[in-house]
Amino acid sequence: MADTKRTATLTLDGKTYELPVLSPTVGPDVIDIRKLYGQADVFTYDPGFTSTAACESAITYIDGDKGELLYRGYPIDQLAEKSHYLEVCYLLLNGELPTRQQMEDFEYRITRHTMLHEQIQYFFRGFRRDAHPMATMVGVVGALSSFYHDSLDINDPWQREVASMRLIAKLPTIAAWAYKYSIGQPFVYPRNELSYAENFLHMCFSVPAEPYHVEPALAKAMDRIFTLHADHEQNASTSTVRLAGSSGANPFACIAAGIACLWGPAHGGANQACLEMLREIGSVDRIPEFIARAKDKNDPFRLMGFGHRVYKNFDPRAKVMKESADEVLELLGIHNNPTLQVAKELERIALHDEYFVSKKLYPNVDFYSGIILEAMGFPTSMFTPIFALSRTVGWISQWKEMIGDPTGKIGRPRQLYTGATFRDYVDVDAR
Ligand code: CMC
């Protein structure tokens, strides 16, 4: 962050205040208002943080107008094509692409942490079988802090490192077991000779009664889904992780908080909501009815899988995801699936409709990911858990960056208070 030597001037009640302007390496400058309250006795008001940078970060950059997403400077489409998820994890965590040796060491370490403490099985068994896998994940990930006491000290860099490895390694096992539990099948243990994506598919779809072969093209598509969701700068769940972590909470608790936030339909829950919406629409001739509802100001309905707080252009992840969807459907010989037909027509109409065009509402990553995941055999309830396991590395990278920031403070927003002013308590008989 560079001081531009420029200042913004605020005039209030005849007094002027000079506010420093800071420059990022790329993107809009920011006005530093840290001293504003002390000097002028005013707060700024920005619900939803639409204009506020809450932290300094060197991990991920989004240019919403261009539709560009960079992890540590590398564009997402290049990473999706040439890299693989664990290499992307290394990049996000460490800032640079690994050498061959660094990659081998990292893979070895992640692979050796994929098993769960055996006692965690009993923890799973406490949930109802029909629990949403996200509910199970929030609980189990939070509970990791009761199992791994040797990686809770956030002031010890080694413990932070071990907690990071554990979370990245164990999330696929937890997500797969949440699924297995919900369908009444036995838990499948991880297998170290498989890649990260293959292992996840193996833990979700294999059963003890027969051998299971992981189709390489599906593993590749799975890996790409993980990569595309790995980080997305200061979104709601990442900000939740940072806020939870700013109080000094342990990393397992912070990631559980992130999972809880991700669950909402405006965020990670949109992939499930989108597929359910496509099914509800059911056939191409019903699309106009739903488009009309999405435009109606008096109807809370929104087209799931469209729009984004930051992207005002095609979501670059959606472009890659669309290609992947075509490949997977071709591989599985799915051509005339009604959900797919509705999705394609909806996309075509929305991209040309004045309402969506003028508001720059493009299909987002969740519009296509659900189609791929459904084709792979996942129920809709597993879509958001898959997003959560992919995003864990982003949350952890951002959490580590925050802990290492010497200017860090507990997150404590201010408010514009509109409630009652001081009044004396009234005895119950006098009310
Ligand atoms: N369908 C219909 N209208 C929409 C939609 C939509 N999906 N999204 C936004 N709008 C309209 C909205 O009604 C508003 O209209 P007006 O200006 O007339 O009041 C305008 O577009 C701006 O919307 P906003 O709610 O102010 O925008 P936001 O930045 O607060 O919301 C969003 C972003 C993603 C929450 C929203 O677009 C949405 O609810 N989309 C559907 C859910 C979804 O697909 N979420 C996944 C996001 S990508 C994955 C992730 O990162 O989590």
Q: Does residue 407 fall inside a structural domain? A: no
pLDDT of residue 1: 67
Tally of domains in the chain: 3
Helix (H, G, I), strand (E, B) or coil at 197: helix
Q: Angle, nearest 10°, between helix axes 383-403 and 157-182?
A: 170
pLDDT of residue 407: 85
Residues in the chain: 431
If asked whether residues 31 and 97 sit together in one domain, one would say no
Mode of pairing for the β-strands spanning 68-71 and 15-23? unpaired
Q: Is 293 in the pocket of ligand 1 (CB under 6 A)?
A: no
Cα-trace Rg, the chain:
23
What are the DSSP calls for 126-173, one per residue? TS-TTS-HHHHHHHHHHHGGGT-GGG--TT-HHHHHHHHHHHHHHHHH
- Euclidean distance between CA atoms 184 and 306, whole angstroms: 34
- Euclidean distance between CA atoms 251 and 154, whole angstroms: 8
- Euclidean distance between CA atoms 334 and 326, whole angstroms: 9
Q: Indicate which CATH number applies to the domain containing 79.
A: 1.10.580.10
- Euclidean distance between CA atoms 330 and 326, whole angstroms: 6
Tell which one of 312, 361, 383 to mutate to probe ligand 1, the residue whose CB is within 8 A of the most ligand atoms. 361
If asked whether residues 261 and 276 sit together in one domain, one would say no
If asked whether residues 24 and 49 sit together in one domain, one would say yes
If asked whether residues 248 and 287 sit together in one domain, one would say no
If asked whether residues 235 and 314 sit together in one domain, one would say no
Q: Is 171 in the pocket of ligand 1 (CB under 6 A)?
A: no
If asked whether residues 184 and 236 sit together in one domain, one would say yes
Locate tokens 């962050």: which residue? 1
If asked whether residues 113 and 251 sit together in one domain, one would say yes
Q: Does residue 426 fall inside a structural domain? A: no
Q: Is 236 in the pocket of ligand 1 (CB under 6 A)?
A: no
Please tell me the distance between residue 293's alpha carbon and the centre of ligand 1 in angstroms.
14
If asked whether residues 150 and 197 sit together in one domain, one would say yes
Distant-in-sequence, close-in-space partners of 222: CB < 8 Å, separation ≥ 6: 197, 200, 201, 376
Please tell me the distance between residue 303's alpha carbon and the centre of ligand 1 in angstroms.
8
If asked whether residues 183 and 153 sit together in one domain, one would say yes
Beta bridge partners of 185: none
Contact 198, 214 (CB under 8 A): yes
DSSP conformational letter for 98: P
State the residue range of the domain holding 47: 7-53
Contact 244, 254 (CB under 8 A): yes
Q: Does residue 227 fall inside a structural domain? A: yes
Q: Does residue 137 fall inside a structural domain? A: yes
Beta bridge partners of 93: none
Instruction: Report the predicted TM-score, pTM, of the whole model to 2 decimal places.
Output: 0.92
Distant-in-sequence, close-in-space partners of 389: CB < 8 Å, separation ≥ 6: 171, 172, 174, 175, 200, 226
Encoded tokens for 63: 């240019």
Q: Does residue 150 fall inside a structural domain? A: yes
Q: Is 261 in the pocket of ligand 1 (CB under 6 A)?
A: no
If asked whether residues 22 and 118 sit together in one domain, one would say no
Catalytically active residues are 308, 366
If asked whether residues 280 and 312 sit together in one domain, one would say yes
What is the chain's pLDDT, residue by residue, as a tens digit (431 residues)?
667 789 999 999 999 999 999 999 999 999 999 999 999 999 999 999 999 999 999 999 999 999 999 999 999 999 999 999 999 999 999 999 999 999 999 999 999 999 999 999 999 999 999 999 999 999 999 999 999 999 999 999 999 999 999 999 999 999 999 999 999 999 999 999 999 999 999 999 999 999 999 999 999 999 999 999 999 999 999 999 999 999 999 999 999 999 999 999 988 888 888 999 999 999 999 999 999 999 999 999 999 999 998 888 888 998 899 888 888 888 888 887 788 889 889 999 988 999 999 999 998 888 888 889 999 999 999 999 999 999 999 999 999 999 999 888 999 999 999 999 999 999 999 99
Q: Indicate which CATH number applies to the domain containing 296.
A: 1.10.230.10
Examine the fold and report which residue of 332, 359, 376 is the final residue of a domain before the chain moves on.
Answer: 376
Contact 233, 57 (CB under 8 A): yes
Q: Is 360 in the pocket of ligand 1 (CB under 6 A)?
A: no
Please tell me the distance between residue 291's alpha carbon and the centre of ligand 1 in angstroms.
14
Q: Is 305 in the pocket of ligand 1 (CB under 6 A)?
A: yes
Q: Indicate which CATH number applies to the domain containing 44.
A: 2.20.28.60
Q: Does residue 105 fall inside a structural domain? A: yes
Q: Does residue 69 fall inside a structural domain? A: no
- Euclidean distance between CA atoms 404 and 93, whole angstroms: 12
Distant-in-sequence, close-in-space partners of 272: CB < 8 Å, separation ≥ 6: 265, 370, 380, 381, 383, 384
Nearest ligand 1 atom, CA 355 = 3
Q: Does residue 217 fall inside a structural domain? A: yes
- Euclidean distance between CA atoms 130 and 143, whole angstroms: 20
Examine the fold and report which residue of 239, 265, 291 is the final residue of a domain before the chain moves on.
Answer: 265
If asked whether residues 37 and 185 sit together in one domain, one would say no
Residue nearest ligand 1's atom 28 by CA: 309
